[in-house]
Amino acid sequence: MTSVGLVWSNLGRRKLRTALTAMSILVAFLLYGYLSAIKVALDGGNFGAGAEDRLVVRNRVSITQPIPGTYRRRIAMIPGVTAVAGANWFGGIYQDPTNFFGQLAVVPEDYLRVYPDILISETEKKAWFSTKNGAIAGRPLAEKYGWKVGDHIPLKATIWVKADGSLTWDFTLVGIYDGAKPGSDTNEFLFRDDYFDDGRLWDKGKVMWYGVQVNSANATQVARRVDNEFADSSVETKTESEGAFNQGFAKQVGDIGAVMLGILGPVFLTILLIAANTMRQSVRERTAELGTLKAMGFSDRRILTLVLGESCFLAGLGGGLGLAIAWLLISVGDPTGGALPAFQFPTLDLLKGAGLVVVLGAATGIVPAVQATRIQVAEALRRT
Amino acid sequence: MTNSLNWILQAASITAVNLGTIPARKGSVAEAVFGIAGVVAVFVGVLSIAVGFRRVMTNSTSPDVAMVLRSGADTEMMSVMLRDQARVIEDAPGILRDRQREAVSMESLVVMELTKRGTGIDANVPLRGVDQNAMMVHEKVRIVRGRNFESGRNEMIVGQAAASEFAGLDLGATLQIGKDRWKIVGIFTAAGGIEESEIWTDSTALQFAFDRGTTLQSVIARLTTPAAFREFKESLMNDPRVNVRIVRESDYYADQSAMVYNLVTGLGILITSLMAVGAIFGALNTMYNAVASRTQEIATLRALGFSNGPVVISIMVESLCLALAGGIVGAAIAYFLFNGFHASTLNWESYSQVAFTFTVTPALIFQGILCAAFIGFIGGFFPAMRAAHLPIVSGLRDN
């Protein structure tokens, strides 16, 4: 009988226990998958790390307070700044409130300079520059809603009432853009600030924030210079790197995320400990059999391989299936019905999970395996 | 009668014997109890977060308070109204009045970024501008230290939760916003409600400091009775001078808490269901072991004339007892670990921090223990069936 055969028949000795142990390992790794996905979603991993050489300037009071549009010129003159683009958050509804995506009013020329990640054809760019109510959308977004260039897209404002009192803003889709890198944000709907500013009833001439491109070497220093420029004016600014800005939101979620992760971590470990204990127990019960094998001339090395093989197989089966099911379920989508739009199982965590499976198999097998090699044949046979 | 009494006695005596053997199987029994305790602890613990959050959002609201926002605005943050519109609202029917004043407050809202104590994280706190009559509308609000702000001056009062959450919000301290200096003259409570996470000041002072002209966010009115809401709403909806949305305060805040509540509850239930599956395997394992190690005893009992029923019942009872023990331990752990834990999180709808306390309610504990009983039932059922179908002869021979 081959080693594989022996491992197989050992696992079949008590089929029920083997199945239950494999199932609990499966559940542990399913939980692990969800743990990673929740962590990423709450960490704001979905917002991306942000570019090193890009800053975000906003009102020091808070992001919800606007800043004057006249700051654009003053920021552009600060040494180290290479491009400035203002942006306004629109926050409108497309057909249904659950259709959430970012909608920004921007100056196209400025915005494309500060965010070179946005890849768009020259023809579409020209069309955008020359169409006042023109808008561009990221490819995944356009595909999701079946938009084509030339389509009219109405958005219902939740904040920005038009000067005539109506809430519906009409846009013409003039281009569809791609992201330069896999992590680029391609889920935004961008339209022209002049169309927006002329149409809105209040806060004319103001923006919510500026994106600023700088010489990468001294981003922090440039940030300080921007804030100094507006210190003691009636609207002070707060400037930070794009990464810090993106994470600010996640940090505000704060304690809840930490508490949930704090609960899940120990739970995962406990399930693993219990499974490990069961596996050790099943080897201990077989002392006599292992003794017989040794009496038949099995080497210590082969015994070690047999026991380790068994624990690794069990861990691999349960853990592998658990990770696979987690991956499948998580890619179906967010379990909370919209509260976590970016719910995903990161590849790195998937690999770490696979590593944990191997560690689990080895760690639970090694102690009984070494014990098994130390069994005295006579002693073991007497136990029958 | 004698038959069924006999049956119950049989079941009771077998159960007693079974429970008596627990010390001999303490490893696997502890494992099952521990697993179930874990499920219940996590279930009660995570849901206490959601319950605590919702409590804060609804503690101080009442159905006889109406909020008037711009038509189409879901939240105060999105709403912009003009003061002359607000004047129209003041005259609407159904509003509570005494001799000199109406229970109406015209309110402005600015979200302000301050540093959290301890962590150094910058987070948003709402700064609300209110009218002199605000206390008549928000009747739960009480100044507990210092005094109320004086209108027209740069003075603030701070909710107790905000004061303990954010650095610099101390009684007597000064806050620099842009070019203006604001003095904190009082600390207030609101029966554990959402206002405690806010900073209040005079509406006019706020409009001036933040260049808001005469715009405001909402008009809040206390009505004579909850039933007066209908009349109040109808009169304003039919008034051509205003274009507004009117909601009860209680509905508004229940809505605001929905997102965080659903998120935490959704994740909590997902996680505990997964764990429950694991715990069911644990319980099954334990009870199958219990049946396997007692094959001979069970066969002997049946050979002696005990019927199947009592054997099955005894195993189910044992499983349920273990599960309930686990459930009680788990609920106790959750209570001591989580109940009363202070935290704060971002309310997505208002884009600002809400301070709240994890709350383990009797209802949550009951649900947790129910959950444990379910695990115990499943964990006992299949092993009990196996015991019932055990062939007597081979069972007796088993060694």
Interface contacts (A, B; CB < 8 Å): 149
Q: Are strands B218-222 and B244-248 parallel, antiparallel or unpaired?
A: unpaired
SS3 A40: helix
Q: Distance (Å, rounded) from C-alpha B84 to C-alpha A56?
A: 37
Residue B269 lies inside a defined structural domain of this protein: yes
Q: Which amino acid is at B114?
A: L
Residue B341 lies inside a defined structural domain of this protein: yes
SS3 B122: strand
If chain B, 399 residues long, is cut into consecutive pieces of 10 residues, what is the mean pLDDT of each piece?
76 80 76 85 90 90 92 85 86 87 91 87 91 90 94 92 92 86 94 93 89 87 93 92 91 88 83 82 80 80 82 87 93 92 83 89 94 92 86 72
Q: Distance (Å, rounded) from C-alpha A15 to C-alpha A296?
A: 26
Q: Are residues B261 and B333 in the same domain?
A: yes
Rg of chain B, C-alpha, whole Å: 30
The answer to whether B45 touches B330, Cβ cutoff 8 Å, is: no
Q: Which of A256, A285, A323 should one mutate to test binding to chain B, selecting the residue with the greatest count of B CBs within 10 A?
A: A256
Question: Would you state the pLDDT for residue A348?
Answer: 84
Number of domains composing chain B: 2
Q: Are residues B31 and B76 in the same domain?
A: no
Q: Are residues B162 and B32 in the same domain?
A: no
Q: Are residues B85 and B51 in the same domain?
A: no
Q: Distance (Å, rounded) from C-alpha A267 to C-alpha B287?
A: 22
Q: B185, B214, B242 — which closes off a domain?
A: B242
pLDDT tens per residue across span A6-63? 777 777 777 777 887 888 888 888 888 888 887 777 665 445 556 778 899 999 888 8
- At what angle are helices A255-284 and A15-43 packed, to 10 degrees? 160
A-contacting residues in B 240-299 (Cβ below 8 Å): 243, 259-260, 262-264, 266-267, 270-271, 274-275, 277-278, 281-282, 284-285, 288
Q: Distance (Å, rounded) from C-alpha B19 to C-alpha B322?
A: 10
Q: B209, B242, B275 — which closes off a domain?
A: B242
ipTM exceeding the 0.85 mark:
no
Q: Which of A30, A47, A60, A64 should one mutate to test binding to chain B, selecting the residue with the greatest count of B CBs within 10 A?
A: A64
Residue B67 lies inside a defined structural domain of this protein: no
Question: Would you state the pLDDT for residue A46?
Answer: 47
The answer to whether A221 touches A79, Cβ cutoff 8 Å, is: no
Q: Are residues B199 and B343 in the same domain?
A: no
Residue B154 lies inside a defined structural domain of this protein: yes
Residue B84 lies inside a defined structural domain of this protein: yes
Question: Would you state the pLDDT for residue A292?
Answer: 83
B-contacting residues in A 49-78 (Cβ below 8 Å): 60-65
Question: Would you state the pLDDT for residue B332?
Answer: 95
The answer to whether B320 touches B15, Cβ cutoff 8 Å, is: no
Q: Are residues B224 and B82 in the same domain?
A: yes
Rg of chain A, C-alpha, whole Å: 30
The answer to whether B367 touches B43, Cβ cutoff 8 Å, is: yes
Q: How buried is A73 (Cβ within 10 angstroms: 0-12 exposed, 13-18 middle, 19+ buried)? A: exposed
Question: Would you state the pLDDT for residue B129?
Answer: 93
SS3 A319: helix
Which of A31, A157, A336 is facing B274, going by the closest CB pair? A31
| CA-to-CA dists, residue A309 to A304, A305, B275, angstroms | 8, 6, 27
Q: Distance (Å, rounded) from C-alpha B264 to C-alpha B255?
A: 15
Q: How far is CA B288 from the centre of its chain?
A: 38
| A131, containing H or E segment | none
State whether residue B210 sits within 8 Å of chain A by CB. yes
Residue B249 lies inside a defined structural domain of this protein: no
Question: Would you state the pLDDT for residue A62?
Answer: 85
Cα dihedral B264→B266→B271→B274 (10° resolution):
170
Burial of A217-242, coded b for 16+ CB within 10 Å and e otherwise, reads eebeebbebbbebbeeeebbbbbbbb
Residue B397 lies inside a defined structural domain of this protein: no
Q: Are residues B269 and B179 in the same domain?
A: no
SS3 A367: helix
Question: Would you state the pLDDT for residue B330?
Answer: 93
Exposure of A333 in the CB half-sphere (CA atoms within 13 A): 5
- At what angle are helices A300-332 and A287-295 packed, to 10 degrees? 130
Q: Distance (Å, rounded) from C-alpha A236 to C-alpha A79?
A: 19
Which stretches of chain A score pLDDT less than 70? 1, 42-50, 182-183, 216, 255-257, 260, 333-343, 383-384
| CA-to-CA dists, residue B73 to A97, A108, B67, B287, angstroms | 12, 29, 12, 58
Q: Are residues B273 and B174 in the same domain?
A: no
Q: Are residues B85 and B211 in the same domain?
A: yes
Q: Which domain holds residue B159?
A: 72-242
Q: Are residues B107 and B33 in the same domain?
A: no
Question: Would you state the pLDDT for residue A299?
Answer: 85
Which of A24, A256, A259 is facing B282, going by the closest CB pair? A24
Q: Distance (Å, rounded) from C-alpha A282 to C-alpha A10?
A: 9
Q: Are residues B117 and B216 in the same domain?
A: yes
Q: Are residues B225 and B339 in the same domain?
A: no
Q: Distance (Å, rounded) from C-alpha A64 to C-alpha A61?
A: 8
Residue B398 lies inside a defined structural domain of this protein: no
Q: B242, B266, B298 — which closes off a domain?
A: B242
